Structure 1
Amino acid sequence: MLTLPPEIIHHVLSFLSPDSSLAPYARVNKQWQMLVEKITFSSLHLIPARLPDLLRFVSASSRRRSYVRKIELLAILPEYSIPARGGVETADEQRRNDESFTRAIHSLLDILSSWPDNCHLTLRIFARSPSDLNGEPDMAKRKKRLLYKRRGNDLLDLRYHHSYLRLSALEHTLPSVRAIVHLVVIGDISYSDYRRIAPAAVSGIISCLPRLRTVNGVLCDNERNMMERRSLRDEFGISLTQWPASIQHLHLKYRGDPPANENRPPPRLSEKGTDALCLALNHLSQQLVTVELKDITIGTELFWPSDAALVSPPRWPHLTHFTVVYGSATTCGQWLFDRDPRSKVKNYEHERPYEDLAEDWPDPRVPAEQDYPVDLFRTKPAPVLSELYRSAGLAAQQMPLLQQMVLVAQVRASRLECPETTAVPQAEHWFRYLRTSNLAQWVGFSEFHPTEEVLDTWRDVGKSHGLEQMKFENMGFVSCPSLLIRDYGDIDFLDEYKTEENGYTLWDEA
């Protein structure tokens, strides 16, 4: 056995079931032990109770430390009683959750602070209480809780829907960790089974990672209490100044839905051109190589601050790829889309008045007034959208290495009629700039015509990138697949959809 090549042993181990423990095979001999440990220690899944084992069995061994590539930390929050499931979290419960979350983060970082630079770790962080529905391992008990929800005795995730984990006073003593180069934080129940984490708390963690290169965050901007939402956004924007200069890549989902009743005005999160988060992201992006922002509410200042022409203009010397999936309303409370004539007008005759709904239902179950009743009809680009495209073009002129910019609107219309085609209507609106193809392309369900000012701005982008002539395409489809499920750089995938059946239209000639 001692003379078997490592490749053979790895091949043998690969035949084992993924659920099988490799630990028994480490006892074959020293060679097998080292190879098994290299696999088992490469990815560690930890809860706070297991951190002493990390310190004893891994941190104390330089060989085992060198095997570790990824650490996942599930911060365990305090349990709560069965009667407590029927009510929202109290301020005292939130405080205890914050303390537990902070202790877990602090304990792990304290252990990792002694690890050398050459470890190159990826750290994933999420949090949950064993009393949460998805913290219950027994599926029969989960089903029982879902039944109690229908009876009104269990709020499930609505219990902590407005709770955000924050770093307690210990945040000022978080140790510096040089071994972590990639960070993933899952902090929004909309995308996962885990608790919401305040974005500023994530920045507090990031500030302690001086060699961090990649940030991948799933966070929440969907708070319906507008005072709380503004506070969370502003705190996040201010906290971005703590991020180290080592960061090169940002992938952030920051869901902030506009009103689900699109007859209502969007919330005004800031005055036009002054959104603290957009301005902070603009500044941060100037050190980055790639940026991907999804489900985010933005204003033009994300790309080009209103005072940029008066002071030294921003510049992105390293940026190669810039992707933004943005909401259909701006931070200053403007809709970016209007009603398309092909959208049916909803009949409200049978809808219950909001006041009756609020009176009959427990508070946590009542939707926000801006979301009732659901009426999604906005697909036709409003004139204000051209301001966004112009600001993006001004920024692109200051990105000498830019290869690709993708801007995708979250158009949510669900009541569309197109009798002239057999295709099922699918609302889309997106733009992409592909440097290698000399192409700026708009694709959408509803008619759109970029202004001459927008076209001139993007012609100047081509000139700044050394392109002889920019090509413009502006196409409409009743039905075409979302760009989000495609390779953004694939310029040919639309060809098969350019048919009468799919409602293909050329809005503007090149």
Structure 2
Amino acid sequence: MDAPNRSTGQENEGDKQPNCTTPELCPQQDNMGFSLPPELTSIILEYISHDDLHLAKYATISRDWQAIIESKTFSSLKINTPKRLAEFNELSWDRRRSYVRKIDLIIQLESYYDDDDAFTRYENEGEMQRNNKIFTTSIHSLFITLAKWPAKEEAEFSLSIEARSPDDLLGQTPEAKREREKRIEESYPSNDFQDKRFERSYLQFNEEVVGVKCPAVPTITSLEIMGAINRRKIEPASCSFIVSKFPRLYRLVLYLNDSCKWDPELRKRHRNDFADSILLWPASIRQLHLDFCYVAPFDQNYSPAASTVKGKTDPLSSRLREFSQQLKEMGGAQCVLGKEVFWPTDEQNHNLQLPFWPHFTDLWLGYEPVTPSGNWMFAKEEPQESEDEDDYDSSDPGSDYSEMDDTDKDWIAPEDRMGKIFRTKPIHELFNAYYLSAANAALCMPKLDNMFLEVTNGWNRHKFWYRVRDGVANATWSSGDDPKAFEPSDEVLQLWKQVASARTGGDLGVEFDLL
């Protein structure tokens, strides 16, 4: 928070007061005995406001100071232990809740490092279920409290959610981290899985665990859920169940995982369940940022994982297109999305009402250069170079992986065992289809100012930027070291010129640039 242990006691003289064993929780007294001129008070407060760690103690000076100090100390709260969560839920918030504008909920999961063998293997089913219960009950208890807080029109209130164990690298103190690193060095080769222990676990939000549904929380207007990269993964559909509890939500930010290299079918289920669950998102959302992190094969001889059959529409891309029509802004990174994220496919056009984005102004999308059906969007330059005869083969009986199964600490998916990066030539057919779909959508976005589309895997460099400034529209295509590595088709250029004419009444400036 850092406040239930700063000053989260009872409020006025009529309230029941706690025992005064902790000064911050005691009723405030006017201890100064005199008043300072407002100008001098303002100067002092400006000076001490930079001392966040010790700011709360100044609230005991007088009631005037109490109100001013608490408006600062309670504006942003971090709840990162079960004790702090319990304090937050138990204390009276009648007056102080008007100061709160941001809550960071960091759910503390089970410890495991002192267990006999827990840190030397992946989480088992029992451990996953216990953590799911902690995850659900923590969120449920917070929502029970926040549901009692009245929503104020125009007032912004942000909530962020993530989860970690005290024994995760991100959750350890610097001292504990150094001690762990020392133990790993001394026992080399170490059997400590470190954060790989929870690599295959997805936290689930399940109201059946607590037996009652979470109430709606109308006070929250901005939500950020961090469940990817070096943090504990959160099941995408579970995030949607959480999102559904905020009827006034305006801004939604999701950092989620879309890579399951040990189980491609699980990835497919997660994507499809996530697509279905987007229907739960409230109609109030106007800003969406989705990092749905997929990691393409490090060895580009391998095909990317497929989540759809070639020629079929991608459910997640289609659902995001449908949802985006209520938005003003949308962003994302590391996503695998088909062209139908912009515009319905020919197959869908016969059955759907064509989309329209009346409020949409900005799209910033970073995507992986692969299709949902598992095709690379870049090819190898011609003429092809022959492969080295002595290239490492991870399937060879003599390789390091021949004696491993996929539960071994050192196991790596076959597609990532060797770095073979050779796909540098944009496949024009795929990119042109992408840009045609985007242009069709832009024609139905009367307020569009920016559409920025960029490959984000770090190996292939390609981007497109359409923008309107001072009534003038420009489009830039950039590809690596060669500005002409990709040249849009005449059909693509003509359609984007129509976009510019419809938006500005003028021509489209076209540029090709280096990256």
Q: Distance in 2 between matches of 1:85 and 1:148?
A: 16
Q: Amino acid of the residue matched to residue 380 of structure 1?
A: K
Q: Distance in 1 between matches of 2:256 and 2:324?
A: 18
Q: Which residue of 1 aligns with 2:359?
A: 318
Q: Which residue of 1 aligns with 2:454?
A: 408
Question: Which segment is superposed worse, 336-345 or 48-57?
Answer: 336-345
Q: Which residue of 2 aligns with 1:186?
A: 226
Alpha carbons 1:357, 1:366 under 8 Å: kept: no
Q: Amino acid of the residue matched to residue 148 of structure 2?
A: S
Closer, same or farther in 2 for the Cα pair 1:145/1:285, shift >3 Å? farther
Report the CA distance between 1:302 and its aligned residue. Answer: 0.7
Alpha carbons 2:128, 2:203 under 8 Å: kept: yes
Report the CA distance between 1:9 and its aligned residue. Answer: 3.6
Q: Distance in 2 between matches of 1:13 and 1:176?
A: 38
Report the CA distance between 1:142 and its aligned residue. Answer: 3.1
Q: Which residue of 2 aligns with 1:291?
A: 330
Q: Which residue of 2 aligns with 1:127?
A: 163
Q: Percent identity?
A: 33
User: Given the alignment, which residue of 2, 7, 10 partners 2:45?
Assistant: 10
Q: Distance in 2 between matches of 1:433 and 1:149?
A: 55
Closer, same or farther in 2 for the Cα pair 1:320/1:182, shift >3 Å? same
Q: Amino acid of the residue matched to residue 49 of structure 1?
A: K
Closer, same or farther in 2 for the Cα pair 1:183/1:335, shift >3 Å? same
Pair 1:106-2:140 in alignment: yes
Q: Which residue of 1 aligns with 2:374?
A: 333
Pair 1:439-2:474 in alignment: yes
Q: Amino acid of the residue matched to residue 358 of structure 1?
A: Y
Q: Which residue of 2 aligns with 1:92?
A: 126
Q: Give TM-score, length-normalised by structure 2.
A: 0.84
Q: Which residue of 1 aligns with 2:441?
A: 395
Alpha carbons 1:2, 1:31 under 8 Å: kept: no
Pair 1:76-2:108 in alignment: yes
Q: Distance in 2 between matches of 1:165 and 1:79?
A: 15
- 1:159-205 superposed Cα distances (whole Å, 9 cap, x missing partner): 110110001224861111001000011101x2x4x211111111111
Q: Which residue of 2 aligns with 1:207?
A: 244
User: Given the alignment, which residue of 55, 62, 75 partners 1:29?
Assistant: 62
- 1:50-99 superposed Cα distances (whole Å, 9 cap, x missing partner): 12321343xx2332001001101111111221421101111111111111
User: Number of residues paired by the alignment?
Assistant: 457
- Which one has the largest radius of gyration? 2
- 1:424-451 superposed Cα distances (whole Å, 9 cap, x missing partner): xxx5210000122311110112411111
Closer, same or farther in 2 for the Cα pair 1:392/1:273, shift >3 Å? farther
Q: Distance in 2 between matches of 1:196 and 1:149?
A: 29
Q: Distance in 2 between matches of 1:252 and 1:348?
A: 42
SS of the counterpart of 1:454?
Answer: helix
Q: Which residue of 1 aligns with 2:17?
A: none
Alpha carbons 2:191, 2:409 under 8 Å: kept: no
User: Given the alignment, which residue of 414, 419, 425 partners 1:369?
Assistant: 414
Report the CA distance between 1:123 and its aligned residue. Answer: 0.4
Q: Which residue of 2 aligns with 1:506?
A: none
Q: Distance in 1 between matches of 2:306 and 2:90?
A: 52
Point out where structure 2 has 5 or more consecutive residues left out of the alignment: 1-33
User: Given the alignment, which residue of 494, 497, 500 partners 1:456?
Assistant: 494
Alpha carbons 2:89, 2:141 under 8 Å: kept: no
Q: Which residue of 1 aligns with 2:258?
A: 221
Question: Which segment is superposed worse, 103-112 or 140-149?
Answer: 140-149
User: Given the alignment, which residue of 402, 411, 414 partners 1:359?
Assistant: 402
Alpha carbons 1:297, 1:329 under 8 Å: kept: yes
Point out where structure 1 has 5 or more consecutive residues left out of the alignment: 414-426, 481-510
Closer, same or farther in 2 for the Cα pair 1:62/1:342, shift >3 Å? farther
Q: Distance in 1 between matches of 2:453 and 2:393?
A: 38
Q: Distance in 2 between matches of 1:468 and 1:115?
A: 51
Q: Which residue of 1 aligns with 2:339?
A: 300
Alpha carbons 2:333, 2:456 under 8 Å: kept: no
Q: Distance in 2 between matches of 1:315 and 1:432?
A: 21
Q: Give TM-score, length-normalised by structure 1.
A: 0.85
